[in-house]
Chain A
Amino acid sequence: MSTRINVTVNGLQYSHMVEPRLLLVNYLRDVLRLTGTHVGCDTSSCGACTIHVNGKATKCCTLLAVQADGCEITTIEGLSHNGELHPLQEGFNECHGLQCGFCTPGMIMMAADLLQHNPQPTEESIRHALEGNFCRCTGYQNIVKSVQYAAEKMKMSEAVH
């Protein structure tokens, strides 16, 4: 029994018939072919699949596509605008916040959620916010610095505007 869903992903509207058991992450990856969102585990632990659903960081391996009907979704592919990188995307490059890159999209999407709630986070609050995102390469230190870089950059651009 397929069900119709209507979703907005990265500003574009989509309408598809989907099986209820289709996970949102597989809808994004296999149907829309937005493969920046990754699957790293099967227990909602690793956070590689983190996206924003209605503005909230979400592990989309633990959501059915049908649950997202009517929702606004942002994936890593939708984070930069008009070719301009998001300060987090810039920060991860500046501070060497990634190595293999597999956890990076989820890490950035989680950090983006944090910076919306808390534009000037402490080191401790960054580490706490990223507790649901595993990285096996970096030891997290440069990820924390990348988020700090982005927070600083966003504060500065706020001051300019």
Chain B
Amino acid sequence: MSTNGLIGRSVKRVEDKRFTTGHGNYTDDIILPQQTYAVFVRSQYAHARIVRVDTSVARAMPGVIAIFTGADLANVNGVPCGWQVNFKNGDTMKEPKHPLLVADKARHVGDAIAIVIAESKDQATDAAEAVEVELEELPCVVDAYKAVQPGAALVHDDVPNNKSFDWALGNPLEEVKEAMDKATHVTTLEFVNQRLVPNAIEPRSYNSSYDPVSEKYTLYTSSQNPHLIRLLMCAFVLGIPEHKVRVVSPDVGGGFGSKIFHYTEEALLTWCSKQLNRPVKWTSERSESFLLDAHGRDHVTKAEMGFDEEGKIVALRVKTYANLGAYLSTFSSCIPTYLHGTLLQGLYTTPKINVDVTAVFTNTTPVDAYRGAGRPEATYLLERLIDLAALEMDVDPADLRFRNFIPPFDGVQQPGYQTQVALQYDSGNYEGVLKKGLEMVNYPEVRRAQQEAAHNGKLVGIGFSTYIEACGIAPSAVVGSLGCRAGLFEVGQVRVQPTGKVSVYTGSHSHGQGHETTFAQIVADKLGINLTDVEVVHGDSDSVAFGMGTYGSRSLAVGGSAIMKSIEKIIEKGKKIAAHKLEASADDIEFASGKFTVKGTDRSIGFGEIALTAYVPHVYPKDLEPGLDFSSFYDPANFTYPFGCHIAVVEVDKETGKVSLKRFVAVDDVGNVINPMIVEGQIHGGVVQGIGQALFEGAEYDENGQLTNGSYMDYCMPRADDLPMFETASQVTPCPHNPLGVKGAGEAGTIGSAPAIVNAVIDALWSGGHKVKDIRMPLTSERVWRAMNELIS
């Protein structure tokens, strides 16, 4: 197929100008005619019975249009969970209703009790304060492990032991036990993968309107997947006809997973807009975001990794308690299971693996996918264990990895690698990324400097993480068999206009990923036209036929592949038109550099002329339809499996415990690369979210279920002056099963980075004789200081 060299080039982003000049269009920027504003009355308690809600004073206040409470929505469904996981015994998971407004009791701080709608936000805020709510505080549960113990308070009265489900995967436990018993060394670690708050800088925002004449709703939403929101809201929550609902995700200011889910406010505002016949808008305050945007991670885990005398891993056994919060968010159930347990093979040839997960309700904010989603938890577990094992066995951590890597395979000549935990890796060269990383960091020199530092009373450490992830989510039949209630294909339409200009409609959604550039590069390259002749449209259910949205590093691998299918159809049809005009057989036409040419001749027609002919079909094949416009659905054959190697070098201040990140080397293999600049940007951002988890971030609840660091004054976001310049490189092992050979880059940085940092800190402490096994993330100065001083962390 033709190429004009656009694929693989760091083309500057075409979307930038509107953002750098202040002309982005985010949901909160939109004010509709007759706009009204909503403010919520929320529970101050983590668990409380609602005794009385009195709205009479508030209703009489200036500008107030309506106030609704849970009682008004008694007949409206709650928001659904999109993935069903069964108990080990086959029972269906416990899936209690997640109501749009709670009527009986509040189950986490921030649970919505009433919505107040007024002419202005000031008036709505004043009136919300005047709603009288009487709550009877109930005992609550916060910690996942404690929540399943006998006698714990119940989040949902009809869910015994607060267990949504239990689940296991891998080899039979007896086989794993047997292999573990034969191990000459077993490294055991009990640890917490702490809860994180996603913190997209644009707070969630929704603006819903209803037109009584056409009976059509329009919902503007800061969502990563407008079509999915429409499907869930219409089919499961409100029971309204899908063709009468337009959902638009305009510019969206970051998501990182937190804007995948169908939130109660989206459906409630849509419901309210019809009651009032006026548009209703709500934008989350940051303090609400902390309490409401689905959190990430929150696993309590015990893991054992057994080795033989040669340092080969012989068995891995994992038990995890996953905190799902108060309700099942849209994809919450699949994160600690199918996106975590399935990744525990890592890059290693471990022959026996068993993972057991108990998913638990607590009186906390719901937990769901946050950048990496399950895979960072799996990577953290494996990479902490193997680095710790190296320290315990006094083996070099890089060497220990080399002994255990799955050998290189391209997925074409050599078959994919079948893991013990259900996946088949597509292609990989795992030793390659570690070798490259060791060269970049100059490993012998770092070790020498570490010894010198130790000699001078300083603590320097180096930590590794070699990770794999499953993304390009996902083959519909596979996820369907595992309980997913949706297909995970993507839609890509390529419409060639009569003048040869091209409009591309994708079901992927860009909220920072740069699709308007990357997808245009693919189309322009393959059709041999200028980048400026391609426009990418996304995020509007009225323009784009359908779509599953952007998450799980899927846009290029799945969305890009759908576009590729349409491009192929366009070229095929173009050949027929060209053959007719050139009086040749379609089989004899080849397409290259924007020209259809009769093979072996200089007779050719340009792409533009073919486009015009398709729409002005005067001289045209008899049996061919006019037009040049194709839409394709692409359902991937497998997940894609990017992998890489992250290396951190840190210095720990002996007196204060403060960790300074000195260097960070990242070698990532994300398959073929369309735009290296954008991929590198994704890695940078991802790495910082991992560094954030390792060093700065973590949601802290007190025993009453209050989030004690629910603002930027207490929840530490990584800032510009916390970070060094990163050293990045790429390796390319193409994906063998999609037309672009791409794997996905959105989550790699986050998945790989956190364990490298923690391993480096542990390594630094060991270099000073502090043989600490674990420090709980984030590695605050005090925690590190305590670890050094052997106080209880």
Contacts and interface: CB of A to CB of B under 8 A. Distances in A.
A and B part of one assembly = yes
Contacts of B24: 36, 101-102
A77 B17 CA distance: 11
Contacts of B17: 85, 89, 93
B657 interface: no
Interface residues of B, number: 57
Q: Chain A interface residue count: which class? A: 35 or more
B720 A131 contact: yes
B310 to A, nearest CB: 39
A131 B15 CA distance: 26
Contacts of A40: 201-203, 253, 286
A56 interface: no
Contacts of A17: none
A77 B21 contact: yes
Interface string B14-34: 011111111111101101000
Contact of B685 (A21, A38, A138): A138
B201 A99 contact: no
Interface stretch (B151-159, B262-270, B507-515): B507-515
A30 interface: yes
A101 B688 contact: no
Nearest to B15: A101
B546 interface: no
Contacts, number: 180
B252 A46 contact: no
B21 A36 contact: yes
Contacts of A136: 199-201, 254, 256, 685, 689, 717
Interface in A77-96: 77, 79-80, 85, 88-89, 92-94, 96
Contact of B514 (A99, A126, A141, A142): A99
A139 interface: yes
B394 to A, nearest CB: 35
Interface stretch (A64-72, A103-111, A153-161): A103-111
Interface stretch (B676-684, B756-764, B768-776): B676-684
Nearest to B692: A136
B253 A93 contact: no
A99 B517 CA distance: 12
Contact of A101 (B19, B285, B713, B726): B19
Chain A interface main SS type? loop
Given A75-B22, A100-B512, A137-B254, A30 B684 contact: no
A105 to B, nearest CB: 5
A57 B538 CA distance: 35
A72 to B, nearest CB: 17
B655 interface: no
Given A77-B21, A101-B24, A41 B721 contact: no
Contact of B713 (A30, A45, A137): A45
Contacts of A58: none
A30 to B, nearest CB: 7
A11 B565 CA distance: 51
Given A102-B24, A139-B723, A134 B717 contact: yes
A141 B687 CA distance: 11
A73 B122 CA distance: 24
B719 interface: yes
A14 B383 CA distance: 59
Contacts of B512: 99-101, 137
A140 B691 CA distance: 13
B712 A131 contact: no
A29 B685 CA distance: 29
Contacts of A117: none
A143 interface: yes
Contacts of B689: 136
Most buried by B among A36, A46, A102, A103: A102
Interface in A32-52: 33-43, 45-46, 48
5 contacts: A85-B20, A96-B681, A99-B681, A135-B720, A136-B254
CB-based closest 4 A-B pairs: A36-B22, A101-B19, A102-B253, A100-B512
Given A96-B12, A139-B686, 4 more contacts: A40-B253, A46-B712, A92-B16, A140-B723
